[in-house]
A and B are shown apart, each in its own frame.
Chain A
Amino acid sequence: MSLRIRAATIRAGARDRDAGAAQIDLRRRPRRGEALIQGFLFFCGAVSILTTLGIVFVLGKESWLFFGSGEVSLLEFLGTTKWQPTIGQFGIWPLVNATLMTTALAMLVAIPLGLGVAIYLSEYASARVRSTLKPILEVLAGIPTVVYGYFALTFMTPLLRSIFGQNVVEIYNTASAGIVMGILILPLVSSMSEDALSAVPRSLREAAYAVGATKLETAVKVVVPAALSGIAAAFILAVSRAVGETMIVALAAGAGPAFTFNPFKAAETMTGHIVRISGGDLSYDSIDYNSIFAIGLMLFLITLSLNIISRSIVRRFREVYE
């Protein structure tokens, strides 16, 4: 009884299927909804291109107006060492010099410490230590930069002044800004370097141990060289980050361009200058307004080329282990 019913159902199903097959058109149909969605998704992707074009256009246009104003030539801009917009002197070197000084100081702090942290975390630390330390460093990386600026001005500067003397260290100085910037960048260097070190396969380390190397020798002579491309990329990215860093230098490095090599003196960086000028009452189409875009263009070109170099180092020198 039940068997017969099931057979009948199957037959009926087969009939339906045959009938269906005759109707289904297997040709590709245009799907307007899908095409619309794909169009929107492409637009989302294209927004990033538009952003870049926007940046290039805006910086380029205003800089063009700046150099086209007749008040300053490109040669004067890149070749003189006095930035005093009030008397029409636009030599970018005081700003670039201050940027280079804070960046160099930041690197002096961030590179040795960051690499030390990375080697410790990747080669020495137990899983438990690593799982507590990494979040702490991430917290350090997640703190807004303006808080670091506050830290530089209210903690690092008084500290430096008490160590080196009130007369030697000015209230605003590039040393304090640079050191705190190094602390800010430390997590970036350490986490990128640690990623590179952890990517080196175990077999390399075991081979080193097998020929009698100590843990340090393995880490420094085998693992670090094998991960060098990643570490170098991290360093360059850190430089780029330091060059573009704004709030720390705006708060702690000083207001007013000064061409000095003394880290205990106040000097204004490129980013600090842009923030100070645009934070005031800025009228459009003035030479001041255009000048910050010329500085911005310079900043953009520097960081962009550093980022490109960093990525091409990874691509070209990465050692691939199977």
Chain B
Amino acid sequence: MNPRPARTSRSPEGGLPEGEALRRDIAARHRVGKVWLLLFQASTLVGIIALTALLYNVLNQSFGLVAVQNQVEPEMLTIEGVPLQDLTKEQLIAILEDHVSKGVMRRLESEIPFASRSRENVYSLVQERVVSPEIVRSWLFVDSIFRRAEILAEAAEEYPNAKIQFRAWVNWDFIRNSQSSTPALAGVRTALLGSLWMIAITILIAFPLGLGAAIYLEEYASDNLLNRIIQTNISNLAGVPSIIYGMLGLAIFVRALEPLTSGALFAASDPTAANGRTILSAALTLALLVLPLIIINAQEAIRAVPRSLRQASYALGATKWQTTWHHVLPSALPGVLTGTILAMSRAIGETAPLVVVGASTFIALDPNGPFSKFTALPIQIYQWTARPQDQFRNIAGATIIVLLVLLLSLNASAVLLRNRYSRRM
């Protein structure tokens, strides 16, 4: 490629190096090669270190020692020796009445009457209002392990009444509880359900549309201007920043199509939502966002199906659609599914468009359909990370773990599904 001779050690006559000089020259070139190889390896290492640091950081935040101070010790609330967690609903309500002001009781009654509250709900109210454990301080995992003695000494001095205990911020309660303004009681249930609802609707919309577009472009479209525009357009759309889709969703789905997306058209609207900022709007936005990804992946899968398969089908008199449906699609399915799963994982982690479309900052009620207000796991991570207090960082870290586990299980199920289909063929 480069006709210039090596700039090192030429013989005095101007020719190429010989003998000892040549050996030295080659050794020098190999040394340079080794140094660069080290650099290339180092950059790979940096990538791996970054991934490790990221995971380390999340784990470091989501586990660790905490200092807990109870307003009322649960031992004080035992009735006839029965511990708090085993009391009946009526006893729990009585405890609430003893410790909480009348006004608060009335407010709770008007939110949801006590008669229709479940025992678990009343129990969590007692926990929240009466016991009201407050985590006054939290420490990082690594510190908790290696500086345990120091932390205990420090805590004993600063918070003499507090109990020091090891806390996994991501735990069963964290997944089961709904949102709360107290980090220790907050959970991701609403966010998790919101994410699942959203992803289900997104796939229901995007998968048929994406597959249909891919079939059209690969099997039906002739090479004319319109189809070339569609093809170019799809690859352009794949590069549009996700936040732009959010703005599209805000203007079209939330505002212009409000009667549809708020459910008013079907008389199904959620009175608390009362505008287009619903799961459906978010899912439609995400569907448009992942559509190009699904189309491009599906196109590749369809293109990989050998021509002979189609021709054999035509030769037996099958129509174009029969050929596509019975022969091309089954062979392309594993590839199409992989692409769809990839798109799903993309959609589930997407945050910016949801913020723009209008995710709720605080909802305590579970979403119960496409017309509910919504929040999602990435939204929770964003909102909790943006808070300055340490403990919100802890629960944001715990939410990240939930999100990553969800992504991982999605991908694993995709791989299993794909393997099953490809074996069958």
Contact = CB atoms under 8 A, between A and B. Distances in A.
Interface of A: 31, 33-34, 37-38, 40-49, 51-52, 54-55, 58-59, 62, 112-117, 119-121, 124, 133, 136-137, 139-140, 142-151, 153-155, 183, 186-187, 190, 208, 214-217, 220-222, 225, 237, 240-241, 243-247, 250-251, 271, 274-275, 278-279, 284, 292-293, 296, 299-300, 303-304, 306-308, 311
Residue from A31, A55, A119, A220 with most neighbouring chain B CB atoms (10 Å): A55
A166 B378 CA distance: 30
Contacts of A117: 40, 43-44, 47
A216 B36 CA distance: 7
B340 to A, nearest CB: 14
A240 B239 contact: yes
B2 A151 contact: no
Interface string B391-425: 00100110010011001000100000000000000
Interface in B290-322: 291-292, 295, 319-321
B250 A44 contact: no
Given A45-B213, A153-B385, A187 B243 contact: no
A217 B247 CA distance: 49
Contacts of A42: 216, 220
B58 interface: yes
12 contacts: A37-B321, A42-B220, A45-B212, A46-B230, A48-B295, A49-B230, A186-B50, A215-B37, A271-B243, A278-B246, A307-B235, A308-B236
B83 interface: no
Contact of B51 (A139, A222, A244, A300): A139
Given A145-B351, A186-B50, 13 more contacts: A34-B319, A44-B213, A46-B230, A49-B233, A51-B288, A117-B40, A124-B40, A146-B382, A215-B33, A247-B351, A251-B385, A271-B243, A300-B244
Contacts of A240: 239
Residue from B44, B220, B234, B246 with most neighbouring chain A CB atoms (10 Å): B44
Given A112-B43, A145-B351, A149-B385, A216 B33 contact: yes
Given A117-B40, A279-B355, A48 B233 contact: yes
Contacts of B53: 151, 155
Contact of A150 (B349, B358, B381): B381
B237 to A, nearest CB: 6
B384 to A, nearest CB: 9
A120 B43 contact: yes
Given A40-B212, A274-B356, A48 B292 contact: yes
A209 to B, nearest CB: 13
Interface of B: 1-2, 29-30, 32-33, 36-37, 39-44, 46-48, 50-51, 53-54, 57-58, 61, 208-213, 215-217, 220-221, 227, 229-230, 233-237, 239-248, 250-252, 255, 288, 291-292, 295, 319-321, 345, 348-352, 355-356, 358, 378, 381-382, 385-386, 393, 396-397, 400, 403-404, 407, 411
B32 A216 contact: yes
Contacts of A120: 37, 40-41, 43-44
A187 B47 contact: yes
A116 B44 contact: yes
Contacts of A208: 1
A48 B403 CA distance: 29
The 6 closest A-B pairs by CB, nearest first: A244-B241, A144-B349, A44-B212, A116-B43, A120-B40, A216-B33
Contact of A38 (B220, B351, B407): B220
Nearest to B241: A244
A116 B382 contact: no
A31 B244 contact: no
Contacts of A306: 239
Contacts of B239: 237, 240-241, 303-304, 306-307
Contact of A146 (B320, B351, B411): B351
A143 B349 contact: yes
A113 B46 contact: yes
Contact of A33 (B42, B321, B381): B321
Main secondary structure of the interface of B (DSSP, over half): helix
Contacts of B43: 112-117, 120
Contact of B29 (A43, A45, A153, A217): A217
B252 A54 contact: yes
A44 B349 contact: no
A243 B407 CA distance: 26
B57 to A, nearest CB: 4
B209 to A, nearest CB: 5
Given A119-B40, A237-B239, A154 B216 contact: no
Given A38-B220, A251-B385, A140 B230 contact: no
A135 B1 CA distance: 33
B317 to A, nearest CB: 11
Given A146-B381, A299-B244, A307-B239, A284 B29 contact: no
Contact of B243 (A144, A237, A244): A244
Given A55-B244, A113-B46, A145-B349, A151 B291 contact: no
B58 to A, nearest CB: 7
Contacts of A116: 39-40, 42-44
B243 to A, nearest CB: 5
B60 to A, nearest CB: 9
Contacts of A214: 29-30, 32-33
Nearest to A216: B33
A62 B348 CA distance: 29
A245 B240 CA distance: 10
Contacts of A150: 57-58, 381, 385, 396-397, 400
Residue from A43, A59, A116 with most neighbouring chain B CB atoms (10 Å): A116
Contact of B230 (A45, A113, A221, A299): A45
